[in-house]
Amino acid sequence: MNKYAKPQFNKVKPELISLAFGMMMIILFTITNNIVYAQKEPLEKSSNTTALPSSSSHPKLHAVKIISPTKGQQVPTGKDLTIIGTSSGNATSYCQVLVIVNGIKPYQPTTGTGHGGATDYSTWNYVLTSKYTTIKPGPNNKITAKYVCMDKPSVSSFYSVNLTGINVATSPDQSTKATTTAATTTDNATIKNNLSRIS
């Protein structure tokens, strides 16, 4: 054998090259597909990882909240009532808070009282007067706050409180006066406490 002679390679048929290329593409596709599928597979089905708790076990976060009156609170019937709340909005969020009482439409606009001015609904209030409706006697009074954004009208958040309306006599005796004064003091303390948590 001549050491300077060129080695002879067998000629490879084009069909074999095509077959090898096709097999490599199938293998590559299978590997890539498995990687992508593994990323989409829910965490609960994976046997080697700890499943995260479902979202139903977490409390629902609200973009709006009524802080006064509080759930279950007794309030006088037929009187003006100031409703105070908070929201995730600010002066630049293009969002607002509306309220509805006992399902009587339309929703009523609230007043933004946040540090950013009248368009800052991070804190808000609404004075319920007889021009709209009043609290009725009994436990079936519901106030709902609705948080809506102008740039996302289909996305809303709601928060409701149920109240008990109590009749207050026009000329209360001393025991009723003491109860009313105690309730007012408690309400004022609750409002101050809730507002201090916001700040």
Half-sphere exposure of 51 (CA within 13 A, CB side): 9
Alpha-carbon distances of 14 from 22, 27, 173, rounded to whole Å: 12, 20, 108
pLDDT score of 104: 97
Residues 24 and 101 in one domain: no
The Cα–Cα gap between 89 and 110 comes to 13
Q: Whole-angstrom distance between the N-terminal and C-terminal Cα of the chain?
A: 95
Residue range of the domain that includes 84: 64-169+190-198
Query: Going by DSSP bridges, is the β-strand pair 74-76/152-166 parallel, antiparallel, or unpaired?
Result: parallel
- Kindly state whether residue 178 falls inside one of the protein's structural domains: no
Q: What is the pLDDT of residues 23-78, one digit of tens each?
A: 777 776 666 655 544 444 444 443 443 344 444 444 556 799 999 999 999 999 98
Q: What is the mean pLDDT of residues 144-173?
A: 86
Do residues 119 and 112 make contact, with C-beta atoms less than 8 angstroms apart?
yes
**Residue 180: is its pLDDT beyond 90?**
no
pTM: 0.58
How many domains in the chain?
Answer: 2
Residues 117 and 194 in one domain: yes
Residues 82 and 135 in one domain: yes
- Kindly state whether residue 10 falls inside one of the protein's structural domains: no
Q: What is the mean pLDDT of residues 88-95?
A: 91
